[in-house]
């Protein structure tokens, strides 16, 4: 897996490789308005880049200033055994308690991860 940050001004990209075996996916997060009803959608949202702008700008080493950027992950190579962990517990900020999510999550019999390899 590669964690990357891509500068929108100079197009410079910093990368950090990391080996992994677990993929922790969110089912539901009302605070961020995330509702995933299937594994494929959860993986797509996991890989969707985060936009760093306004108060959360990124300091680019090449530009030597804070700039707007994209931060995300790419899969370079899948492990021989991939553990998909579905986060079924969340924290309710109104009651300040952990709650179990009983939402339905569909998954295929065969999960083709080639669709998420970003051309690598």
Q: What is the pLDDT of residue 34?
A: 79
Tens-digit pLDDT profile for residues 60-69: 989 889 999 9
Reported residue count of the chain is: 120
Are the beta carbons of 90 and 82 closer than 8 angstroms? no
**Mean pLDDT of all residues in the chain?**
88
pLDDT > 60? residue 6: yes
Q: Where are the domains of the chain?
A: 2-112
CATH domain 2-112 topology? Cathepsin B; Chain A (3.90.70)
State the first-to-last Cα distance of the chain, in angstroms, to the nearest integer.
Answer: 11
Q: What is the pLDDT of residue 120?
A: 40
Tens-digit pLDDT profile for residues 24-47: 998 887 777 778 889 999 999 999
């Amino acid at each position: 897996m590669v964690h990357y940050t891509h500068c929108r001004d100079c197009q410079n990209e910093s990368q950090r490789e990391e080996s992994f075996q677990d993929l922790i996916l969110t089912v539901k997060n009302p605070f961020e308005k995330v509702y995933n009803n299937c594994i494929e959608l959860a993986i797509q949202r996991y890989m969707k880049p985060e936009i760093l702008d306004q108060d959360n700008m990124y300091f680019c080493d090449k530009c030597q200033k804070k700039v707007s950027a994209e931060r995300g992950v790419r899969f370079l190579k899948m492990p021989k055994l991939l553990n998909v962990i579905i986060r079924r517990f969340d924290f309710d900020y109104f009651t300040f308690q952990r709650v179990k999510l009983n939402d339905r999550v569909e998954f295929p019999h065969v999960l083709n991860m080639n669709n998420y390899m970003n051309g690598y």
